[in-house]
Structure 1
Amino acid sequence: MAESEELRIFHLLRAVTVEFGLRQAEFAARNAMHPTDVRALICLLDAERDGTPATAGRLGAQLGLNSAGTTAVIDRLERLGHLARVRDERDRRRVLLRVEDGAKELGRAWFGPLIDGTVALLGDFDARESEAVRRFLTGVRDLMAAGEPPSAPVPPPPPGSP
């Protein structure tokens, strides 16, 4: 039985996410980072682009880490020179996280060709097509963010186990 067009698109999206994940993992490995460090930098760059103050608590929530795990990521990135802790100018008690320019340059050197190629590809889309792509990707992101992971079936115990 042939797959529906919707399932073919879903499988294509999955293939894109796998490929992107592999590129992120290779970037992390080549730059002495953990894959979670790369995800953290992406979250912090997104916050910067949106004008959202980046705090350790917000970062931990986005990454699904507890306080100790979040601190470990921040410490690693700070040691590597990719991140700085800075005092909030409006509330000196609050510490914000800032991605350093060197980290941005490193990321641009690695992901720049992919970004540029994607922008060029989207440049061939008309406004309606671009809006459809945006709506689709936003919808998938929202579905993933809102949904609970499905519970995996529990495998039967091995033969002879109590």
Structure 2
Amino acid sequence: MKVPPAKAGYWYEQDSTAKERAVRVLNALRDYRASEGAMRRRTRSAMSMGETDLLALRYLLEAQAQGRDLSPKDLAAKLGITSASMTTLVDRLVRGGHVTREPHPTDRRALILRPTPGSDEEVRTTLGKMHQRMIEVAAGLSPQETETVVAFLAKMSEAVDQIDPAAH
């Protein structure tokens, strides 16, 4: 894939070769994020689910694949939502046939949430081809390219995760 030529981003000025390369990378990253956002909107639309619903289902499917149980409280903590919002979310997922509530195996007072087999299949059908294309692109990287991309993305995550308290 050919990397698009550098273009001035709306926040970036180009006054050196290093900055020009940085702008090209940041513009490519911004374009990727826009494509990923569009894909998420299409997925939510295809599955008739909101973003938080889809994220909750993803966490539940991941936990199931790892042999872990998630309670509504655990899931609310992962999603960063209140218990009231969690109740509404779970009700919606249960009504939609995506999740079941089951008694906790060791705590009679608690519940665990499980994705339905139909939800797992729906996610695989909706996202399977796209995930396969992404795997093929990533598998096409050399070992050195892989290390470079992974290190770059880790550093970018670190850069955006830091909030400057003086800026507020």
Q: TM-score w.r.t. structure 2 length?
A: 0.72
Deviation at 1:77, TM superposition (A): 0.9
* CA positional deviation for 1:134: 3.3
Letter in 2 for 1:82: H
Counterpart check, 1:21 vs 2:37? yes
- Counterparts of 1:143-158 in structure 2 under 5 Å? 144=160, 146-148=161-163
State how far apart, in whole Å, the 2-side matches of 1:13 and 1:149 are.
Answer: 22
Quickly say closer, same or farther: Cα 1:143–1:30, change in 2 above 3 A: same
The structure 2 residue matched to 1:48, chosen from 44, 58, 64, is 64
Asked which structure has the greater RCO (Cα within 8 Å, sep 6+), the reply is 2
8 A contact 2:93–2:99 mirrored in 1: yes
User: Which structure 2 segments of 5+ residues have no match?
Assistant: 1-13
The aligned residue for residue 145 of structure 2 is 129
C-alpha separation between the residues in 1 aligned to 2:68 and 2:152? 24
2: CA distance, partners of 1:111 / 1:149: 36
Identity in percent: 28
CA contact (8 A) 1:77 1:83 kept: yes
Relative to structure 1, the CA distance from residue 149 to residue 122 in structure 2 (aligned partners, 3 Å threshold; closer, same or farther) is same
Give the 3-state SS of the residue equivalent to 2:100 in structure 1: strand
Q: CA RMSD in A?
A: 2.9
What's the CA shift string for 1:82-114, capped at 9, x where partnerless? 111223324443322211121121111121111
SS at match of 2:125: helix
Deviation at 1:67, TM superposition (A): 1.1
Show structure 1 runs of 5+ residues with no match: 154-162
Structure 1 residues 81 and 50: alpha-carbon distance in aligned structure 2, compared to 1, 3 A threshold: same
Q: Distance in 2 between matches of 1:9 and 1:61?
A: 34
Task: Say if 1:83 and 1:98, in contact at 8 Å, map to a contact too.
Answer: yes
If the length of structure 1 is used for normalisation, what is the TM-score? 0.74
Query: How many aligned positions are there?
Result: 152
